[in-house]
Structure 1
């Protein structure tokens, strides 16, 4: 199952990045963060899951080698959370200040935000490498004093549960999730408020209604991404809390299901984009037909699409003015 999840994660999220590359209408600031999220999910499928499969065999390795493997997963998880938070803030600004949004949220600022998200994720995820780990506990239990002893490489053998619960979960995972919940609630409230205003006005006000209607549909899709992320990762964090506060043996089945859920989240986002966001769906079909089925793209249709895209861009510019 891990192999299937890894393949689906890599292929699906490569399609997401590719779709943004070939479709100009997807190259707005929101999709900077979507691409960042996709890159983290690609790394989970290509790097983390193979490493997780390897260490699940009970192999022995140096303490810090095993710790680095665990920290990579923590970095990627934190980058996903921060990317989702950035997406939520971006959608909030798009609805809150639609007229000045493009002036406030520029591509340069969005790129800077992506870099900041990854920098914070690195700091949070690599914290155990700087001392908050189980090395002293391991040395005490095994009556050894080695600076880098051999261990059976398992996550709980090297990562401190105090770090996972108090710092990672209570400090860096739960607050962003709660903040995103509040942000999306406010987004839906503002959109419905604006739509109700437009319904009560004359028919000449249909363009704003169309704008907020599109924002509502996209906000629902991105909120679904957040919801699936939460239900995929919360079981594993709850297990960590139980391990810390009630360290009783747990069945392997529960642990494996929680791990599969957390890894499986990396494969579901492209499916949501394909079914919920029309621009992604069109781009996915184009990639499939051109590069998998080897169909030739009709040049006239391509030119017509470009002309239509240019016309839509001019109309959006006119509406913004």
Structure 2
């Protein structure tokens, strides 16, 4: 293993730990907070779960399918498809969040009366169910089995691009499953800001209008935070997809292994960045973070006080026993 591969592996480990810890905090914050009742946050939990699984499953498997082990072609293909799965779940969850944001400002009254948390949870479940056949399409035949001249009993050095065809990554995974949804989501967020901007320019008339203005300002702030999450996702994943396009349509030798490593690390780092964005940009999630932190610190303080009290009682007991022994003598 060269120095570059060692550095790549170490950085992947750090990113994986950050993904697990950060997104576990997001899930705990949203799951335990009673003040967070908007249906949107169920989709954010789903996105956080996908990012958490990137850290504990996808990143370790991505390191494994970098030519480090020998497996059968089928096992290597299944492992590689599993790496793709969580990315597609993230894209679909982001798309569901964008649709939810659009509906909240396009039909606000109807949204409040019809859309409930269970609808959001069903949408999150649909994202996972839809991502599975899309990510495991190579298992159905769109793979490099013929190119690897694999037989049932033989093994291969498991590498992602050995089993996953570049045509699948470029045409299906990038253009159909990533680029088109990103363009649709961008249009939805642009519509959200356009609607809110137009509504906020209207002249006030009554108290109901004032409440509507406050509602729209909150929606604008949350939409801005979630659109930042979308922008970071695009900035993190587009470079790797561009490298795949260059390798597919051009000469693969023009792209160094280091460039691919950087692209992979950047895409994985996106899953570790989202909890930080939530902390700084979404007030309710930040408050939930602080509440959890307060509970942890109070528990530590209580344990410390209990240990101190127990130690003091033991010392006092020892002193009393000592005095008693002296008196007996």
Q: TM-score, normalised by structure 1?
A: 0.86
Secondary structure class of the residue paired with 1:135: coil
Q: Which residue of 2 aligns with 1:15?
A: 25
8 Å Cα contact 1:63/1:148 also seen in 2: no
Separation in 2 of the partners of 1:295 and 1:25?
25
Q: Which residue of 2 aligns with 1:217?
A: 221
Q: Which residue of 1 aligns with 2:204?
A: 201
CA offsets, 1:242-277, max 9 Å, x none?
111113312121111100011001001100000001
Secondary structure class of the residue paired with 2:109: coil
Gap runs ≥5 in structure 1? 140-144, 298-321
Separation in 2 of the partners of 1:111 and 1:16?
16
1:260 aligns with 2:265: yes
> Which of residues 239, 247, 255 is equivalent to 1:235?
239
- In structure 2, the CA distance between the partners of 1:152 and 1:94, relative to structure 1 (3 Å rule), is same
Aligned pairs for 1:1-321 (under 5 A) are 1-56=11-66, 58-139=68-149, 146-147=151-152, 149-197=154-202, 200-202=203-205, 204=207, 205-249=209-253, 250-291=255-296, 294=299
Separation in 1 of the partners of 2:196 and 2:175?
31
- In structure 2, the CA distance between the partners of 1:119 and 1:49, relative to structure 1 (3 Å rule), is same
Pairwise CA distance, 1:160: 0.7
- In structure 2, the CA distance between the partners of 1:293 and 1:94, relative to structure 1 (3 Å rule), is same
8 Å Cα contact 2:91/2:178 also seen in 1: yes
Separation in 2 of the partners of 1:190 and 1:102?
17
Separation in 2 of the partners of 1:265 and 1:207?
36
Pairwise CA distance, 1:28: 2.0
Pairwise CA distance, 1:56: 3.1
Separation in 2 of the partners of 1:96 and 1:192?
12
CA offsets, 1:134-187, max 9 Å, x none?
001111xxxxx5136312211111101111111121111111100000000000
Gap runs ≥5 in structure 2? 1-10, 303-329
Separation in 1 of the partners of 2:119 and 2:153?
42
- In structure 2, the CA distance between the partners of 1:12 and 1:120, relative to structure 1 (3 Å rule), is same
Alpha-carbon RMSD: 1.7
Separation in 1 of the partners of 2:293 and 2:119?
33
Pairwise CA distance, 1:293: 5.9
Q: TM-score, normalised by structure 2?
A: 0.84
Pairwise CA distance, 1:110: 1.8
User: Highest Rg: 1 or 2?
Assistant: 2
Separation in 2 of the partners of 1:148 and 1:182?
50
8 Å Cα contact 1:67/1:158 also seen in 2: yes
8 Å Cα contact 1:21/1:27 also seen in 2: no
Pairwise CA distance, 1:98: 1.1
